[in-house]
Amino acid sequence: MNARIIGTGSYLPERVVHNTELEKLMDTTDEWIRERTGIEQRHYAAEGETTVDMAEHAARRAIEAAGLAPGDIDLIVFATATPDLVFPNCGTLLQARLGCTGAPAFSVEAACSGFIYALSIADKFVRAGEAKRALVVGAETLTRITDFTDRTTAILFADGAGAVVLAASEEPGILSTQLHADGSYKDLLYCTGGVSKGYPPDSGNRAVIRMAGRETFKVAVTMLGNSVDEVLAKNGLPKSAINWLVPHQANIRIIQAVARKLDLPMERVIVTVQDHGNTSAASVPLALDTGVRDGRIRKGDLILLEAFGGGFTWGAALVRM
């Protein structure tokens, strides 16, 4: 039995913040941000709008696209680094809203790689016969942990949600997933506080993102390149077999580097970073939904999903649509 993606959905908050708005807050320019990151604008959650609020919109759209009702879902795996509450986890909070109570529902925290991790977990539930229709979500309200005095991170991170529905099928679907982590890089990209560790004395009881940009870029390009090679080798496929690359939307330069690794022209890469910035665990399903709904990604296409995040964590998934 295989797990196939049968529906996709996404959601972006109403508030759009263009680079020119950030020029008023910090020492940066629209030109500098576009050149270094490829980002033109991003979306910020409204006051009171939460990670689960956004996830519900994306989930309902994915379930509708799959031709199902919420009650048909028998597993929820929810990837986020910015949960509404410590507990109950976001998966159960979303489950209560959708009305598919009783099925397993839990959250996964692997930063920007969270959706790939969650997809891999759900795939294995379906393959094992433990679930027939799984909802996999990636959602973040990163603006709640963004330091708007730090242009290194403030220009990058934003809010949004994406989701897919997996269904058991005899047809090929998720061919394989490759997951990795290396905690020795923890000081290059991290959040400054947490429940058990507390918060820095000068933080005002607030945790924020910190990143060493150049070092993170170098490691990301190397690790993602290795992951691409690994997933293709596992399936005995050449690079030319890939129809579409759907990468983590972190930075246009990283996306271009992975495309070069695959010998893929940028015309075969789904790029949405210019419209919503880095939405961490939400970015891959957001890009996937865009490619599906605008007709570029079609049934039968072979797509490669990949992501890299704090930890460091990284992974890739080879998927037949």
In this prediction, residue 206 carries a pLDDT of: 87
In this prediction, residue 93 carries a pLDDT of: 98
In this prediction, residue 201 carries a pLDDT of: 81
From 19, 248, 251, 276, active-site residue: 248
The SS3 call for residue 176 is: strand
Q: Give the residue ranges of the chain where pLDDT is below 70.
A: none
In this prediction, residue 199 carries a pLDDT of: 87
From 19, 43, 57, 112, active-site residue: 112
Please state the pTM of the whole predicted model: 0.96
Summarised one tens digit per residue, pLDDT across range 196-244 is 989 888 777 889 999 998 899 999 999 998 998 999 999 999 999 999 9
In this prediction, residue 301 carries a pLDDT of: 97
DSSP state of 103: S
In this prediction, residue 202 carries a pLDDT of: 76
Quote the crossing angle between the two packed helices 283-293 and 51-65, to the nearest 10°.
Answer: 30
| Distance between CA atoms of residues 136 and 114, nearest Å | 10
Active site residue 18: no
**What type of residue sits at position 29?**
T
Asked whether the beta carbons of 51 and 161 are under 8 A apart, the reply is yes
Burial profile 282-317: b = 16 or more Cβ within 10 angstroms, e = fewer: bbbbbbbbbbbeeeebeeeebbbbbbbbbbbbbbbb
Active site residue 112: yes
In this prediction, residue 186 carries a pLDDT of: 93
